[in-house]
Structure 1
Amino acid sequence: MTSTPRTLWWLAGLTALLVAGSLLASGLQDVRADMTGAPAFAFLHWNLFLAWVPYVVALVLVGLNRVRAPGWLLAIPGVVWLLFLPNAPYLLTDFIHLGAIPGAPLWFDVLLIGAFAGTGLLLGMASLLLVHDVVGSRLGSVAGWVLVFGSLALSSLGIYLGRFPRFNSWDVLTNPDGLVQVVLYRLGDPLGNPFLLSFAVAMTAGLVLSYLLTWGVGQMVVRRPIGRVAQPGA
């Protein structure tokens, strides 16, 4: 597929929507900081920055795919994308802070955290939509959907590791021993933590439903895959 005006406008519109959501969330945080005199939710800015990483990497993958880059070259940013993908829907778990930090009405904090969480979720689903199309164009439809369900299940586990044992994406490089120990311990007794199982199942189900909605909207808007290379005579 060539870079048609329709596709380019769709990507530009999607990115503009994500930027607008980020600006709205950041603006609400700034308003709260002015109201209370303390940036109590300033950590949400960092979480949102991390949520942008998989989307930006997904755009890189789309660009590489369009110029017919070799598979090994796509694999490098692909690994980075998978490692950082959980950071996007991770923002949903920041609702755990609701009501814990005084200084603003509860409804305002719901709106504030919701703006960050909604933008983070959309960043994750949009990045998966782009990568899904790239993998589908390279390896076929079945491989594309395997990527979707596999990456969402792994993201659910990544969200758990980030929220509760407090690991980060870069711990794969900076603290691999600690991360591997926790993972191996859980694998050795997979049924020993009912909360982890219920959390992973519920989160995966929610993410799958969110993605199917995103994918359906993308199909209706674009009607043609986003990252495919041009076919002869197209």
Structure 2
Amino acid sequence: MFYRRRHAPHPIVYCTALYILISLLLFIITKRSVHLVVLWNVFLANLPLLLVFFMCLEDQRRDTFRTGLLGVLWLIFFPNAPYLITDFIHLQHITFYTNETPNLYTTNFWSWLGLFQIGAAVFIGLFSGMLSLWIIHHRFLKRLISPIAEFALLMIFISSGAAVYIGRFLRLNSWDLFYPAHFITQITGHINSFSIAFSLMSAAAVGIEYCFFSVLLMTAAKISRLHR
């Protein structure tokens, strides 16, 4: 039943192709560019997992420089995963109620497909991002004493929370960090009570998401061992 022919594409390839097709179809039908924006954000949110994969390969080769470089790139691009949560604001441009009766839901199929497209993007991005963070965290635990590893994890939460604010409100991207003078100029003029509160809220959200993901992963591992 679960047999897959050798050299056959992995199911994730089909799922990715289907998601891209749905996103393009929504854009063509609804003319809402948000569906292309969400598709791009999903790609960015999956980059951290790809970077972690290559980082582990370089670590196995004992290439300290490349391992460290990929680790820094991971830290830069990781916030793109929790940033996807803020893409739910794009739902405000989609109507879910009929014009005639405010309390009656619309039967416009494309509106509901848009909801599922954005919801799936958030799920995919968060799952991929939290998996990459889980790998990084456990590498910390293997190489550092526990208090330092947990402090490093906390710093990742805080920096990611700040990055979500910077990305959503200042419209800066991960690659803007490669232009430090411009980047610092932009953020220093926007430090206020709201930016701090929003960043801490986002950091707490990342922490909660990671805790739940870790519990689910450990529970799945225990169940798997019980059925061996």
- What TM-score do the two structures reach when normalised by structure 1? 0.74
Verify: 1:147 aligned to 2:152, yes or no: yes
Judge conservation of contact 2:161–2:203 (CA < 8 Å) in 1.
yes
Q: 1:182-216 CA deviation, whole Å, 9 max, x = no partner?
A: 33345xxx5xx222122112211111111011112
Give the count of matched residue pairs.
201
The partner residue of 1:33 within 3, 21, 27 is 27
Give the aligned residue type for 1:82: L
| Among candidates 171, 176, 197, match of residue 176 of structure 2 | 171
Which ranges in structure 2 are unaligned for 5 or more consecutive residues? 1-9, 96-107, 223-228
- SS at structure 1 position matched to 2:143: helix
2:166 to 156, 161, 167: 161
- Alpha-carbon RMSD: 2.7
Give, in whole Å, the separation in 1 of the partners of 2:19 and 2:85.
13
Give 1:142 deviation, angstroms: 2.7
Query: Cα offset for 1:23?
Result: 4.8
Q: Which amino acid aligns with 2:139?
A: V
Distance change >3 Å, CA 21–CA 147, structure 1 → 2: farther
* Conservation of the 8 A alpha-carbon contact between 2:58 and 2:64: no
Rounded to whole Å, the distance in 1 between the matches of 2:213 and 2:182 is 35
Shift of 1:181: 1.4
Gaps of at least 5 residues in structure 1 are 1-15, 224-234
Identity %: 29
Q: How far is 1:78 from its partner? A: 0.7
Question: 1:83 aligned to 2:61?
Answer: no
Change (3 A) 1:214 1:26: same
Q: Which has the higher contact order (CA 8 A, sep 6+)?
A: 1
1:24 is displaced (CA, Å) by 5.4
Aligned residue for 1:231? Answer: none
- Larger-Rg structure: 2
2:214 corresponds in structure 1 to: 215
Q: Offset at 1:90? A: 1.1
User: Against the structure 1 CA distance between its residues 205 and 167, is the aligned structure 2 distance closer, same or farther, given a 3 Å change threshold?
Assistant: same
1:122-150: CA deviation from partner (whole Å, max 9, x where unpaired): 11111101111122212233333222221
Residues 150 and 117 of structure 1: is their aligned pair in 2 closer, same or farther, counting only changes over 3 Å? same
Give CA-to-partner distance per residue, 1:27-83, whole Å, 9 cap, x none.
432342353366551112211111111111111222334x26254442111100000
From the superposition, tell whether residues 134 and 24 of structure 1 become closer, same or farther in structure 2 (CA, over 3 Å): farther
